[in-house]
Structure 1
Amino acid sequence: MSISREEIATTARLARIRLRDDEIDDVTSRIASILDMVDQMQAIDTSAVEPMSNSLDAAQVLRSDKVDEPGDKIAAREALMAGAPAQEDGLFLVPKV
């Protein structure tokens, strides 16, 4: 795949990027080399490669599905509220923004 100098100039103008003539030539050669690399990658036979949705082999880790005792949550909430600098009716008070 190739790209022309005019295509680079038009794309730069549409993106409102100001390029000098020498910069257009430089960008054209760089993008052409990137497109050549993409062509090389597309030519590789990947028919025997299994598709993947994630590069990690880790399974999704979930917490245990258990019922908490109501007292546990109340005690945990009270412990959190005890560390708050300001609270009212079980809610954290924060300065106005």
Structure 2
Amino acid sequence: MSLALSDVKRLSMLAQIDLTDAQSAQTLDKLNGIFALVEQLSAVDTTGVEPLNHPIAALLPDLSLRLRDDVVSEPNRRDDYQQVAPATQDGLYLVPKVIE
């Protein structure tokens, strides 16, 4: 996939970024370079390759990660916090509607 200069100009208009023609051309080159890299990565066959849980594990397979146990260490104080909230309902904070 590659972009055209009109695509960059449309994107800059949607993002409300004012680009000169030179900046648009430079951005086009950079974006097309990124898309080319993504296409190269997509072409690699990764069948049978297991994902790593940590990048250093590829270099040090005997590495044991120091992970803490997933246990609750703090008491549930939701009721205490919601007592000072302006409005709550069924354990949820009520906020004013800001989008019509």
Q: TM-score, normalised by structure 1?
A: 0.57
Largest Rg, 1 or 2: 1
Query: Percent identity over the alignment?
Result: 25
Count of residue correspondences:
64
CA distance in 2, matches of 1:3, 1:48: 33
Task: Find the residue that maps to 2:39 and give its secondary structure.
Answer: helix
Tell whether 2:9 aligns with 1:9.
yes
TM-score by length of 2: 0.55
Aligned amino acid, residue 35 of structure 1? F
1:24-66 Cα offsets, whole Å, 9 max, x none, are 1110011101110110000000112113455465252239xxx
**What is the CA–CA distance in structure 2 between the aligned matches of 1:31 and 1:53, rounded to whole Å?**
30
Match of 1:23 in 2: 23
Structure 1 gap ranges (5+): 64-97
- The residue matched to 1:39 in structure 2 has which SS? helix
Q: Structure 1 counterpart of 2:19, which letter?
A: L
Secondary structure, counterpart of 1:61 in structure 2: coil
